[in-house]
């Protein structure tokens, strides 16, 4: 079965950096587009970034453009999100999800990022 | 940007009741509308894709309908395990997709 496992979250000061990882199993990772979605504590879902199966096509939400970088390593079945210049408002649970057709059919359990001084 | 507005924000319901949650898009999205269920302390799970197609393994009491700007998620015969927050999601402007604000269902 498809499994997505995020890691790399933690507590960081404003202006700091974190790199999130998402390890995929149970799927041919290189066949699928992937996405990051976040959820601030007690809030709704917020799309963050999207990468094609080859990694050549990438999109970002305006709120993170220029600060976050999505990437993938198909040989390692892994998705990444490099987050720089972090702000308090970036505090959230970050989920990776598989893009199938135009919807998100499998999600990881999430990793919590807290930005606080 | 397409804005999705769900109603209600919160609903307290009894088991076996029929529940209807609506999602309205700020402009037409054809049938590019999907529904997710998020139970407390869990990640979201896909329920319905393309407005009315059930995802694999989803109980038959969940159904979806609608097209254009108005969509509905229906739960026929609510079960206690259906206590969750439900989100609609539009992919008409993929990759820049958006979600509704969520509808929290409480089971009495």
A108 touches chain B (CB under 8 A): yes
Contact A94, A36 (CB under 8 A): yes
Q: What is the pLDDT of residue A41?
A: 93
Q: What is the pLDDT of residue A114?
A: 98
Residue B20 pLDDT greater than 90, yes or no:
yes
- Cβ-Cβ contacts under 8 Å, A108 against chain B: 43
Q: What is the pLDDT of residue B93?
A: 87
Contact A108, A79 (CB under 8 A): no
By CA distance, what is B85's nearest residue in A? A44
B99 touches chain A (CB under 8 A): yes
A1 touches chain B (CB under 8 A): no
Percent of chain B with pLDDT over 90: 94
Q: What is the pLDDT of residue A29?
A: 97
User: pLDDT averaged over chain A?
Assistant: 97
Section A105-115 average pLDDT: 98
Grade residue A80 by pLDDT with cuts at 50, 70 and 90. very high
User: pLDDT averaged over chain B?
Assistant: 96
The Cα B59–Cα B62 span in angstroms is 6
Q: What is the pLDDT of residue B95?
A: 83
Query: Given an 8 Å threshold on Cβ–Cβ distance, is A44 in contact with B46?
Result: no
Q: Render pLDDT for A26-39 as a digit per residue (tens, 0 to 9).
A: 999 999 999 999 99
The Cα B75–Cα B57 span in angstroms is 15
Contact B55, B46 (CB under 8 A): yes
Q: What is the pLDDT of residue B94?
A: 82
Q: Render pLDDT for B68-100 as a digit per residue (tens, 0 to 9).
A: 999 999 999 999 999 999 999 999 988 888 999
- Residue ranges of alpha helices (H) inside chain B are none
Gap between the terminal Cα atoms of chain A: 40
A45, A102, A105 ranked by CB distance to B87: nearest: A45
């Amino acid at each position: 079965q498809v499994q997505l496992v995020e890691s790399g979250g933690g507590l960081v000061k404003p202006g700091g950096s974190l790199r999130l990882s998402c390890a995929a199993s149970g799927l041919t990772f290189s066949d699928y587009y992937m996405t990051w979605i976040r959820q601030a504590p007690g809030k709704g879902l917020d799309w963050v970034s999207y990468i094609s199966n080859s990694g050549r096509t990438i999109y970002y939400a305006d709120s993170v453009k220029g600060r976050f970088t999505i990437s993938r390593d198909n040989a390692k079945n892994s998705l990444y999100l490099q987050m720089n210049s972090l702000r308090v408002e970036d505090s959230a649970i970050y989920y990776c999800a598989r893009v199938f057709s135009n919807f998100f059919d499998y999600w990881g359990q999430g990793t919590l990022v807290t930005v606080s001084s | 940007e397409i804005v999705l507005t769900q109603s209600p924000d919160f609903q307290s319901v009894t088991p076996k009741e029929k529940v209807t949650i609506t999602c309205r898009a700020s402009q037409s999205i054809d049938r590019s509308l999907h529904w997710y269920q998020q139970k407390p302390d869990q990640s979201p799970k896909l329920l319905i894709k393309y407005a009315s197609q059930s995802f694999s393994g989803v109980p038959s009491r969940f159904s979806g309908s609608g097209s254009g700007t108005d969509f509905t998620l229906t739960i026929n015969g609510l079960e206690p395990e259906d206590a969750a927050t439900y989100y609609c999601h539009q992919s008409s402007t993929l990759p820049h997709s958006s979600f509704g604000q969520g509808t929290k269902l409480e089971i009495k």
